[in-house]
Structure 1
Amino acid sequence: MTATVLAACAGLIFCGGIWAVGILGCTAARKRYRLRPRSPLATAAPTSAPGVSILRPLKGLDTNLYENLESTFAQEYPNFEILLSAADENDQALPVARELIAKYPQVNCRILVGEEVVGVNPKVNNLIRSYREAAHDILWVIDSNVTVHSGTLARSVDALVGPPNATKRIALVHHVPFAVVTENKIGSRIEEAFLNTNHAKMYIAINTAAVDSCVMGKSNLYRRSDLERVNGSLKPIPPNGVQPGPCGLQAFGRFLAEDNMIAGALWHELGDRHDLSCDVARNIVGNMSLSDYILRRARWIRVRKHMVLAPTLVEPFTESVVLSLILSWSLKTLFGISPWISIVAHFAAWIYVDLDVYASLAGHPLPAEQRWSFMAAWAARELLALPIFLFAIFGSEVIWRGRRYTILRNGEVARAEQSRSWFQRLRQPKNYDPINTEL
């Protein structure tokens, strides 16, 4: 058997493995999200339901902010409080928060203003006071650009508590993001197509297989008592043990992807597991240009590169374009099948699976009036995946919320000095200093 035939066999096996992951994500989405029963906790007495503190960090006027925040006020759950935090007393989100507090006087809600700097991550700095002042052990940390169904909290607590005969304790419950576009911008449309198809498919598949931690921080439930035992070192500790040194939320202020690190710490340090409830975190996507989308995707590729290098390097080979080339070459080499036939068949099946995942999460098929615009954005996302990866993999600096960071080897971040590109430095005259004054 020649080396070419062996390579073709390996390529065919690899493609089969990626397709198996995709089918797993599709079937798991059908089982989990097409039926969302009401939890008994929705109508339970306050004394019989575990207390939950809902922590929502605020930063400016996010798209659909009023409805996003209102969705937590309207939760069908008998025992919860809401803590809304903002770093600046002049933050534009605060009048919206006060209006909702006046509208729902029966809901226990407080506003905390002023951050406590415990690291370079501004979200952690914003949350730390709410984290410490929360009245309950179960915390639901949910971003301000997310809206949820009224039954989400009850179903999520069901998943966190779990059945009494469970073999593994659940330490964190999270929700798959589902993008909702409010503005017809090209970047927003591509982000919608990405989150609602390929990202959701792979996210659900990885969490169904449960081979390792894979969590996004849009909407997560966990226990403060668990977080107070871990510090992000990912080193296992004995039962009832505590990591040495600072633990708790403040220990994760040194990471940009604090959500992923918290989930990894609960998984690897405590030996517990995660679960997805049957709800989605409806991520409201506002005005996102094409460059915004590219920089957003590049940012998280660079973060993952320094946290999980091997899986990040494999990512391009799991995308539809590269995979179709591998598959078509393998089938041509082994069976003489025309590459055009295999590429067309591959993309037809890939689109079918992606749209099926969309239907499971949305609760309905893709609307006919959105079909062509959605498919155009889907195609753009698939074609951009490899160029964005190549752009992102050769760099370690990212910009997040207007601040520049350098990603370190262990996944931590440090504030980066403002630097100019090589093109700006090339154009800089050598014989005098630049004048910053506008003429």
Structure 2
Amino acid sequence: MAHYLVQPLVMLSVGAAVCSLAYVLAAIVCVRRFGRRGVGRPGACPPVSVLKPLCGLEPGGYENLRSFCCQDYPAYQVLFGVRDADDPVIPLVERLIAELPERDLQLVVAPRTIGPNLKVSNLANVYPLAKHDLLVIADSDMHVGPGYLAAVVAAFEAPRVGAVTCLYHARPAGGLWSRLASLSINEWFLPSALVGAALSPVRHCFGATMAVRREVLEQIGGFPRLAHYLADDFYLGHFAAAHGHEVRLSRYLVENVVREPSFGALFSHELRWSRTVRSVKPTGFALSFLIYPITLALLADLAGALLPGPLPAGLSLALPALTLLALALRLGLHYVVRSALGIPGVGRPWLIPVRDLLGFAVWAAGLFGQGVVWKGRAFSVDGHGQLVEPKENTQAVVSKP
């Protein structure tokens, strides 16, 4: 490679690595600050409707669902939505209803489809049965403690708050691939979300929890407004903020039970996330390579090795120092996440460089293409974040009366 091309490449790679180290320091500060604050309890406890869209069995499915039914909260209902009468999750829900007759639990089986996002169709089908004006929506692979509802409702005490969301940490329910997936959530996604929340107001929701006032949901157009988006959670908060409502990040961390049976499943799942993020926050996604300091330091080392002749004295010391510092800071963040947030370790420290390299590879792959596979169905995502189905499948998303 020509000398005049290599020098700028070295400078760019070193600059990116230094910026990445600064990011990790900021992440450590944000994680520690988040961990020091309590989740809070509401002064009043208005009744709540919990909407649970279900499709198939999830790892720890029964325990996950039961956790939402056993809340330390005075008045709430839980609506379980299923589209297919043969869905294997139905016996779990029926078991819960039989075991907890004193709770307000109801199963709704309805195949009506209002758009390509079948999760949103599920929510639209159970919504007419929601009794209360505070609505809490949570993905089916989430597990919560008995204080969850109280913590979420506490964030609504300010009238300007129209929606509340929660971040989440992961618990692996499997071997190496599940641990790598959980490590990514706990030590790459979660800190980056906290840094983002520190830099600018939260204007979107996470699927771990989307809580919204009924009047706000109606104001933004209800579930039909979300039915064509892949990132329905993002857009619920986005539309609420666009209508002048505050979106608040709760201090409660939800637990995500993760099972990835193979490398292919892990990579496909994370590639879908990457392309989803790219569709809704293209600038943020483009800059998210900065959360991979180990990879960037190694790329700087590689660029330095391409320079003809011996390295300048300063650079020959700076490059290995960058790599060692990247490893040290990433290891520091690993332990800060565990101690400040009370999250059990999900992987050995030696997995951290592997996870960093893999995360960068997923990010690079996410720069290209629009195709995603979700619940076994293939889609592309257009420039507005909306799902586009292959022509042969479009009949499946025609709204039924």
The aligned counterpart of 2:289 is 316
- Identify which of structures 1 and 2 has the higher relative contact order when contacts are C-alpha pairs closer than 8 Å and 6+ apart: 2
Aligned residue runs from structure 1 range 141-290, under 5 A:
141-162=137-158, 169-184=160-175, 186-211=176-201, 213-230=203-220, 247-267=221-241, 269-290=242-263
Shift of 1:11: 6.9
Structure 1 residues 321 and 70: CA distance shift in structure 2, 3 A: same
1:58-137 alignment, distance < 5 Å: 58-137=54-133
Shift of 1:418: 7.4
SS of 1:374 mapped into structure 2? coil
1:343 shift after superposition: 0.8
Q: Could you tell me how far apart the structure 2 residues matched to 1:12 and 1:177 are?
A: 32
Partner of 2:25: 23
Aligned to 1:379: 353
Contact 1:305–1:393, Cα closer than 8 Å, also in 2: yes
2: distance between equivalents of 1:383 and 1:251?
A: 38
Instruction: Please point out which of 304, 324, 330 is paired with 1:350.
Output: 330
Letter in 1 for 2:74: P
- 1:301 alignment partner in structure 2: 274
User: Offset at 1:170?
Assistant: 2.3
Structure 1 residue aligned with 2:34: 32
Percent of pairs identical after alignment? 24
Deviations 1:65-116 (A, max 9, x none): 1110111111111121110111012211111111111222221111111132
Q: Distance in 1 between matches of 2:47 and 2:217?
A: 17
SS at 2:30's partner residue? helix
Superposition TM-score, scaled by structure 2 size: 0.86
Distance 1:179 1:16, change over 3 A: same
SS of residue in 2 equivalent to 1:91: coil
**Cα distance between partner residues in 2 of 1:29 and 1:346:** 18
User: Does the Cα contact within 8 Å between 1:25 and 1:203 map onto a contact in 2?
Assistant: no
Answer yes or no: is the 8 Å Cα contact 1:266–1:272 preserved in 2: yes
Question: Residues 365 and 53 of structure 1: is their aligned pair in 2 closer, same or farther, counting only changes over 3 Å?
Answer: closer
- Amino acid in structure 2 at the alignment position of 1:379: P
SS at match of 1:207: helix
**1:197 CA drift (Å):** 0.6
Give the corresponding residue for 2:134: 138
Distance of aligned partners of 1:40 and 1:257 in 2 relative to their CA distance in 1, 3 Å threshold? closer
Output the aligned Cα RMSD. 2.9
| Pairwise CA distance, 1:172 | 2.1
**Cα separation, 2, equivalents of 1:156 and 1:326:** 43
**Conserved 8 A contact 1:218-1:281:** yes
* Alignment partner, residue 237 of structure 1: none
The residue identity in structure 1 corresponding to 2:229 is F
Unaligned runs of 5+ in 2: 305-310, 394-401
In structure 2, relative to structure 1, the CA distance for the partners of 1:10 and 1:377 (3 Å cut) is: closer
Secondary structure of the 1:144 match is: coil
Alpha-carbon separation, structure 2, partners of 1:292 and 1:171: 36
Count of residue pairs the alignment pairs up? 382
- Structure 2 vs 1, CA of residues 377 and 351 (structure 1 numbering), >3 Å: closer, same or farther? same
TM-score using structure 1 length = 0.79
8 Å CA contact 1:200–1:357 kept in 2: the answer is: no
Cα distance in 2 for partners of 1:66, 1:283 equals 14
